[in-house]
Each structure stands twice: as C-alpha cells, then as structure tokens.
A and B are shown apart, each in its own frame.
Chain A
C-alpha cells in the first residue's frame, strides 16, 4: 500500500477526519434533540387526548344530569324562541318529539293572561337579572297547568347574555292544595260567622224589635187620631214617614244579617272600610248596649278603599268588638268604654279596637291566637285564630297590645287590650295617595 507521501496529504487527511468526527457529533446531538421533542410532543398529545376525553365525559355527565333532571330545563332567546329543552321539559309541555317544541315560541304555550308578565321577566333576564314567576301554561295537548319558573341569564365568555336559562316545575298539585286550604278556611270562616250569629241571636231579636215596636206605636197612634178625628193630614203624613223609615231600618238589619251569614266567593275588591265598620257596628250594637258598653268610633277623616272581602273584614271587626265587649263584664258599667279607630299608617289601613277591661297577663296574651285557647267559659277558642288567618290572607297583620291609656292604672283597675290589624289599600289608591 502506498501511503501519501506528500506532506500536505496528511494534513488534508487529518482535516477530513476531524470534519467527519464533527459531523457525526452534530448529527448525534441533533438526533438526541429530535427524540426529546418527540417525547414532549407525545406526552402533550396524550394529555390533550385525556383532556378531550374528560371534557367529553364532563359534557356527557352534564347532559345526563340535565336529561335526567326531573324539572324542566330550557334555554330561550330574548324573543321567546325555545333553543333547548330537556326531556322533563318535553314531558311537561306534553311534546312527543323535541322538534314539536324546539324552535317555536314559548308564548304559544303560556296562558294569555300571563304573557305580558313573562315578557317583562324575559327582558329583565337579558338585562342581567334573575327572577321567579308563577304562571299557567296550556300544554301541547291542551291541558292547563300551573308552573313556577326560576330564570337566570346565560352568558358567554365576554359576559354577554346569550340566552335565558329557565328551570321550571309543575306546581299544579300545590296550587290545588292551596285552593283546597283556601276553601276549607272559607268554610271555617263561614261556620264561625254562623256560630257568631247564633250567639248573638237574642241581641239581634231585640234590635229587630225596636223598629217593629216603633212601627206599631206610630201606626196605632195614627189609627187613634183618625178615629177620633184629631189628626191633621200633615201630622199623619209625618208619622207614616216614620213608619216607612223604621220598616227600612228593620229591612237593613235583616239584609245585613243575611249578607253576613252568606258564603262569600267573590274575588277581593276595593272596599269602603268605614262602611264595613258601620255594618259591623249595626250587628254588634245591640250586644254592646246589652252589656252597657259605650262605643266610641274614631274614624279617619279620609280612608281610601282597602282590598279584600267585605264580609270577612266585617267578621274580624265584629269578632274583635264582641271580644272587647265581653272583656269588660267585670268593669263597673259607667266605665265600660270601647274605642274603635281607623287610620292610615305606612300605606296600610289600620283598625284598632281598644277596651278598658282587665287585660291579660303576658303569658295569656302570647297564647290568645292559638287555636282552642280561650278565656271564656263557653268559648271555642277559634275566633281569634280565624280573625288572624283572615287578616293574613288579606296581606295584613293582627296583633294584640296592652292598652297604654290604662296601663298607668293599677292592675285591678284594668289595663285593657288593643287589637290592631292592618289591611292593604287597593293598588290604584296607593298611587293616588302617593301622588297627593
């Protein structure tokens, strides 16, 4: 073999070798880096896959939760188009297929009288508020049902409201139960009124006797004058006018009794509170005078109409007045004073019945609204609980207080009680009062 002899040839050779070695070194390093990158990429892909799986799993879980949710879950646009609804919702509206309802307007199924309120609620939700509402729907099969819905805004990443999320449940059964309770309560109140009438029968007979006796006196006085030729036409006319007045008086008493024992079923209406109070006093008056109780009426100069059932309010007034009258049995007759006053306070009408009887101990006072609690020998203990339910059903409150006018006296002298109840004013009148 010939070895290069040229001195430079060695140099070239060495240089070439060095170059090759460097190259090998570089490639090896490159290879190493590539492998590292690959590993990194592989783990990254793994993680992403896992994340995607998890996401899918999560979504699936959420869907399953929503799908198996017993209450209706729905998404809806501002104009009422239904975007999504879970199977419970579909069952609620009695849709066989999602296509029957998705994409249509919710206003098609909301009962007409609730549409305006629902629209107002939707607008508030798209303005970022949440809310609750009770309304009726007519299902796709034409059935009327009561719904209670909780609605919240559904926002995108930039906090823009993209839909209304509503969770709605069927409260038809609850509503029916409430109706039933209301019916029972109405019947109880009616039974209590009939009972009251029974207890007051003798006093009322007396009250009817007065006009009848007056009619008899006037007409017999007329007959005697006519027979003796003593009466002038003017005199007799005046007397006969009195006969008519007294006949009207008797008729008024009878009709107010009849009204009082009626079962009332009309919706609450604006009522003249003072007319109701006077009506109650017409019935309670004879009993008060039998017990020799002086009644002082202090009615507010102006009293806007209150919202409610006239007979039930009258029942409360009558009950409180009768209680107060009976509470003063142990007080000497000339001191028996019952004050009934009305006034306005915090946009509510207030009625107060005050007596100056012996009052009640704190312990008794805390129990007088309990059913079957009574201080009377013949009492049922249902009067005040019924009064309280009536007042509360009217949106007011009924409380009892010690009468401050008489608490200064020693206990034996009698501290007396005040019953204080409030009633809502009829809405338009509230506005008028505020404008005034």
Chain B
C-alpha cells in the first residue's frame, strides 16, 4: 500500500478534476481539488508536501503563471502539467517553468499515476535536500569570520602551513581554528567538509538566484 500523500489538482473543468480525484483516491492519495490557480494560491502555504497536477489552460491565471508564482516563492512543490491539446512550445514553456512532467489528455492512467509517484518522491527528496542545506547554512552561520577564512582556504586544498603564512598566523592557531570548523560544521572528514561547501556554493546560490530571476519576471 502506498503511503497517503497529497495531490493537488487545479483544473477549471469540474468533471476533469472530480474524475481525477476519483482515480487518484483509488490508489490511496489524499486529493484536494481547486477550480482555479487563484483558489489554490489562496489556500496553499508552501509547507504541505505533495505534488500539483495542473491544467495549463484556464481562464484567469494560467497554469504557467501559477508555476512562476511557485518558483518566485521558492516552493519546491513538483508540478505535473496536463493539457487537452498541447504543442511543443507550450511543453517547452511548462518545463522551463519547472514542471517535472507534461502530459497530454487523454493520458494513460498508469502513466499518470507513475509520474505522480515519481513527483511525490521528488518532493520528498527536494525537502530532504532543502532541510540538509538549511542545516549546513545554519552551521556555517555559527563560524567566526576568522574561522570562515580558514575554512575557505582549507577547502581550497591548502596545507596548514600555507594558510598560516597567508593569514600571518602561527600554524598552531590555524590548527585550533581548523578543529573548531570541523566541530561546528559537524564534518567527520575533510572530504565531508568539501562536499558541504560545494552544496553551499551551488545549491545555495542556485536557490537564491532562482528566487531573484523569478522575482524579476
């Protein structure tokens, strides 16, 4: 039995969303239906995990606009876009706006259910990543300015002596700072520390960049 997870359905056609609820409930999902993008945004706060099944063409706010709203708010809710008649440009736009899948009606139910399952796993994965990153960021925050300097040089592969000369400190002091960095970052080895720094640089920067670009559009 699949774990009960949330699926949000946004479609302006009542029969389409209610029939989807019936299908998804048959495999044990918890389904919430919304008649418009606006209605969904009014209710959803970004905290509840799940996946969003979205009809791309709706009066008022379109599916694409809703996707952009999600990106702007940096919510990691995976989106599956469905459409009655899609074309390639539309699919490209949907994927660029962060959709994990693009399905055309009428779809095979097993395909949809599989994609929903994948999306839900992706959501969990994203959440785990998100939480981990948040933890690393919090730990990094605890470092003193001097410790951050030392850590940056350590991660860059410099030996203690080199760092000591560079910072004009004694190798002994560097060793103390280095031990503090390893302790505060909860890194058990140098390679672990390097991995943490890489995530801080790539994921952290990507997340903030994402938020920035979509705040502009």
Q: From A218, A224, A225, give the contact of B19 (CB < 8 A).
A: A218
Q: Which residues of chain B from 108 to 147 have a CB within 8 Å of any chain A CB? A: 109
Q: In the bound complex, do residue B109 and residue A216 qualify as a contact, i.e. CB atoms below 8 Å apart?
A: yes
Chain A residues with CB under 8 A of B18: 214, 242
Contact residues in B for A214 (Cβ distance below 8 Å): 13, 15-16, 18-19
> Of B19, B25, B85, B107, which is within 8 A of A246 by CB?
B19
A237 contacts partner chain B, Cβ-Cβ < 8 Å: no
Residues of B contacting A205 in the complex (Cβ-Cβ under 8 angstroms): 84-85
Interface residues of B in 72-117 (CB under 8 A from A): 84-85, 105-107, 109
Interface presence of B198 (CB below 8 A)? no
Residues of A in contact (CB 8 Å), total 35
- In contact, A209 and B105 (Cβ under 8 angstroms): yes
> Of A86-94, A103-111, A287-295, A409-417, which binds chain B?
A287-295
Is chain B's binding surface mostly helix, strand, loop or mixed?
Answer: loop
Complex contact A210–B26 (CB within 8 A): no
Chain A 272-291 interface 0/1 with B at a Cβ cutoff of 8 Å (1 = within): 00000000000000001110
> Bound complex: CA of A357 vs CA of B71, how far in Å?
31
Main secondary structure of the interface of A (DSSP, over half): helix
Please, which residues of chain B bring their CB within 8 A of the CB of A202? 85
Nearest residue (CB) in B for A223 is: B26
| Docked-complex contact A210 and B84, CB < 8 angstroms | yes
Contact B106 A213 (CB under 8 A): yes
- Residues of A contacting B13 with CB < 8 Å? 210, 214
Instruction: Name the CB-closest residue of A to B65.
Output: A333
Whether a CB of chain A sits under 8 angstroms from the CB of B20 is yes
Does residue B61 face the partner (Cβ distance < 8 Å to A)?
yes
Q: With A202-B85, A292-B60 known to touch, is A239 a contact of B22 (CB < 8 Å)?
A: yes
Question: Quick one: which of B22, B61, B84 contacts A218, CB cutoff 8 A?
Answer: B22
Contact B58 A221, beta carbon cutoff 8 Å: no
Whether a CB of chain A sits under 8 angstroms from the CB of B57 is: yes
Q: For residue B36, give the distance in angstroms from its CB to the closest CB of chain A.
A: 11
Q: Determine which of B12, B61, B109 lies in contact with A220 in the assembled complex, contact meaning CB atoms within 8 Å.
A: B109
A237 CB to nearest B CB, Å: 13
Please count how many residues in chain B sit with their CB below 8 Å of the partner chain's CB atoms.
24
Complex CA distance for A362 and B16, rounded to whole angstroms: 44
Q: B168: CB under 8 A from chain A? A: no
Contacts of A305 in B (CB 8 A): none
Interface hits, B1-60 → A, CB 8 Å:
12-13, 15-16, 18-20, 22-23, 25-27, 57-60
Contact B60 A206 (CB under 8 A): no
Give the residue name and chain of the A residue nearest to B104 (CB). Answer: A209
In Å, the complex CA distance between A215 and B12 comes to: 17
Query: Which of chain A's residues has its CB closest to B57's CB?
Result: A290
**Are A217 and B20 closer than 8 Å at their CB atoms?**
yes
A249 adjacent to chain B (CB < 8 Å): yes
Partner of B23, one of A206, A220, A231: A220
B59 touches A292 (CB 8 A): yes
Chain A residues contacting B160 (CB-CB under 8 Å) are none
Other-chain contact of B59, A212, A216, A239, A294 (Cβ < 8 Å): A294
> Quick check: B26 and A224 within 8 Å, CB to CB?
yes
Q: How far is the CB of A234 from chain B (nearest CB, A)?
A: 13
> Known contacts A242-B19, A334-B60; is A221 also within 8 Å of B25 by CB?
yes
When C-beta atoms are compared, the residue in chain B nearest to A208 turns out to be B84
Contacts of B26 in A (CB 8 A): 220-222, 224-225, 228, 230-231
Contact of A224 with B27 in the complex, beta carbons under 8 Å:
yes
Residues A293 and B19 in contact, CB atoms below 8 Å apart: no
Interface residues of A in 97-123 (CB under 8 A from B): none
Q: Which residues of A contact B180 (CB under 8 A)?
A: none
How far is B84's CA from A294's CA once the two chains are assembled, in angstroms? 19
CA of A134 to CA of B210, assembled, Å: 79
* A230 to B25 alpha-carbon distance, docked (Å): 11
Bound complex: CA A230 to CA B1 (Å): 12
A383 at the interface (CB under 8 A from B): no
Inter-chain contacts of B58 with A (CB < 8 A)? 289, 292
Q: Is the CB of B16 within 8 A of A213?
A: yes
Q: Which residues of B contact A216 (CB under 8 A)?
A: 19, 106, 109
**In the complex, the 9 A-B pairs of residues with the closest C-beta atoms, listed nearest first:** A217-B19, A206-B84, A214-B19, A224-B26, A214-B15, A221-B22, A221-B23, A217-B23, A220-B109
Extra pairs beyond A289-B58, A334-B61 (10, CB < 8 Å):
A207-B84, A212-B105, A214-B16, A216-B109, A220-B26, A224-B27, A249-B15, A289-B12, A292-B60, A294-B60
